[in-house]
Amino acid sequence: DGGITQSPKYLFRKEGQNVTLSCEQNLNHDAMYWYRQDPGQGLRLIYYSQIVNDFQKGDIAEGYSVSREKKESFPLTVTSAQKNPTAFYLCASSKTVTSYNEQFFGPGTRLTVL
């Protein structure tokens, strides 16, 4: 089955810790994205990547970092610099980031700061 997997489903972090959220896709898509979803605010773009070893900041990149060493993988690190990290994190992919292409979403990771 082709799709996007995210792990873990639930993640708890203590203040001051960095945590890494996993995102893997087997759709052979070039582009991958990370969004954050908060109640009443829809989805906001954190980072996106058009191709391996390249990524760009989205609207709310502060306190986050990413890497794209493989086409299939786009992990997101939530650093201690992110002041309010409790949220639902969604990874997505599309064939390319230029022109319109459907973005497919993973099941999400719910991060809670204790």
Q: How many residues does the chain have?
A: 114
- Binder among 19, 32, 97, 111 for another protein (CB under 8 A): 97
108 in contact with another protein (CB under 8 A):
yes
Alpha-carbon torsion (26, 64, 61, 106), positive or negative: positive
Member of 27, 45, 60, 61 binding another protein (CB under 8 A): 45
Helix (H, G, I), strand (E, B) or coil at 104: strand
Calpha distance 20→97 (Å, rounded):
24
Binding-residue pattern over the window 3 to 42 for another protein, x denoting contact by CB under 8 A: -x-----------------------------------xxx
Choose among 34, 98, 89: nearest CA to 67.
34
Residue 26 CB, nearest distance to another protein (Å)?
16
| Binding stretches for another protein (CB under 8 A) | 4, 40-45, 48, 50, 56, 58, 90, 92, 97-108, 110
